């Protein structure tokens, strides 16, 4: 299937590893020129070479995409080196550092961290998690929209989570991801008339190289891992990045023109929401 996006320019935040890397590679496989950013130059440089090997242009910028001022510089450098952004993937996020929580923490059945005392959950942690998941992407969206509206074509994809759709993880992460889904829906309805689509992807628990779940598999006996997976995951395995990357490429394509405002789970049946 020809996705019709060869020669477009994409910006993927958090694009050096994990889901961001896979989405960047999937776009490059469709002939899209890609800019990626993250905080670690070594992984950025490695991923940029992988992307270029697919025959497209790739630039990278060392930056913290949760920092509003930093994303303005990322956008400016992307436009300077590759051209105006046609496809934006707001991938940066996170649930916060467990070591910073001055409350009792326990693990829920799917292994995410959840707080027992919402009334004492630190406000500064909530602010930090919202910054990681919402504010940088919100600003980038503002920056890319003028070009998209002018050409009456654009694709913006945000990375949410199944914990933005239903109960799970901690109060900060769940709230921030729900906000990402809501902001995406509002933008989709408000700007549909310009030919710009906004959608979010809600991954379940994904294991990729260097992730906590990759370490879990390596650091525990096989019977422990197998028992955990059989008990809590319908497929009996963790998720993996490729379906997320390929879905992002489809949502970025001409083939998805009537899909906007959607939040699409990629979780192997892990989530229980009916919505």
pLDDT in tens, 39-69: 999 999 999 999 999 999 999 999 999 899 9
**118-156: per-residue pLDDT in tens?**
777 889 989 999 999 999 999 999 999 999 999 999 999
Q: Is residue 192 part of a domain?
A: yes
- Does the pLDDT at position 191 exceed 70? yes
The pLDDT score that the predictor gives to residue 213 is 82
The pLDDT score that the predictor gives to residue 104 is 39
CATH number (domain holding residue 88): 3.40.50.720
Provide the annotated active-site residues: 173
- Report residue 96's pLDDT band, with 50, 70 and 90 as the boundaries: low
DSSP 75-139: HHHHHHHH-S-SEEEE-------GGG--S-EEE-TTS-EEES-GGGS-HHHHHHHHIIIIIHHHH
Q: Is residue 216 part of a domain?
A: no
The pLDDT score that the predictor gives to residue 100 is 42
Global confidence as pTM:
0.91
Q: Is residue 31 part of a domain?
A: yes
- Does the pLDDT at position 209 exceed 90? no
| CA 256/CA 198 separation, integer angstroms | 11
Neighbours of 86 (CB within 10 A): 23
- Does the pLDDT at position 115 exceed 50? yes
The pLDDT score that the predictor gives to residue 121 is 82
- Report residue 245's pLDDT band, with 50, 70 and 90 as the boundaries: very high
The pLDDT score that the predictor gives to residue 215 is 85
Higher pLDDT, 76 or 107: 76
The pLDDT score that the predictor gives to residue 78 is 98
Q: Is residue 229 part of a domain?
A: no
- Does the pLDDT at position 107 exceed 90? no
Strands 105-107 and 113-115, bridge-based pairing: antiparallel
- Domain hosting residue 177, numbered range: 9-204+239-266
Q: Is residue 227 part of a domain?
A: no
- Report residue 254's pLDDT band, with 50, 70 and 90 as the boundaries: very high
- Report residue 101's pLDDT band, with 50, 70 and 90 as the boundaries: very low
Average pLDDT of every residue of the chain: 90
Q: How many domains does the chain have?
A: 1
Ramachandran angles phi, psi of 239, nearest 5°: -70, 170
Q: Is residue 129 part of a domain?
A: yes
């Amino acid at each position: 299937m020809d996705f019709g996006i060869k020669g477009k320019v994409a910006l993927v935040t958090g694009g050096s590893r994990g889901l961001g890397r896979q989405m960047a590679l999937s776009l490059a496989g469709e002939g899209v020129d890609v800019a990626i950013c993250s905080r670690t130059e070594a992984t950025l440089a490695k991923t940029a070479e992988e992307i270029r090997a697919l025959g497209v242009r790739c630039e990278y910028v060392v930056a913290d995409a949760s920092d509003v001022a930093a994303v303005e510089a990322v956008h400016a450098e992307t436009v300077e080196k590759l051209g105006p952004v046609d496809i934006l993937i707001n991938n940066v996020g996170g649930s916060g550092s467990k070591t910073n929580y001055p409350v009792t923490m326990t693990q829920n059945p799917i292994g995410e961290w959840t707080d027992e005392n919402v009334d004492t959950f630190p406000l500064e942690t909530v602010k930090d998690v919202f910054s990681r998941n919402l504010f940088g992407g919100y600003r980038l969206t503002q920056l890319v929209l003028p070009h998209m509206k002018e050409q009456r074509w654009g694709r913006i994809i945000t990375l949410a989570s199944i914990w933005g759709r239903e109960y799970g993880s901690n109060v900060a992460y769940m709230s921030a991801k729900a906000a990402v889904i809501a902001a995406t829906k509002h933008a989709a309805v408000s700007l549909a008339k310009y030919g710009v689509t906004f959608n979010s992807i809600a991954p379940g628990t994904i294991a990729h190289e260097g992730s906590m779940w990759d370490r879990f598999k390596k650091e525990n006996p096989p019977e422990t891992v197998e028992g955990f997976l059989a008990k809590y995951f319908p497929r009996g395995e963790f998720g993996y990045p490729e379906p997320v990357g390929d879905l992002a490429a489809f949502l970025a394509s001409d083939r998805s023109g009537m899909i906007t405002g959607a939040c699409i789970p990629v979780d192997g049946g892990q989530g229980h929401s009916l919505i």
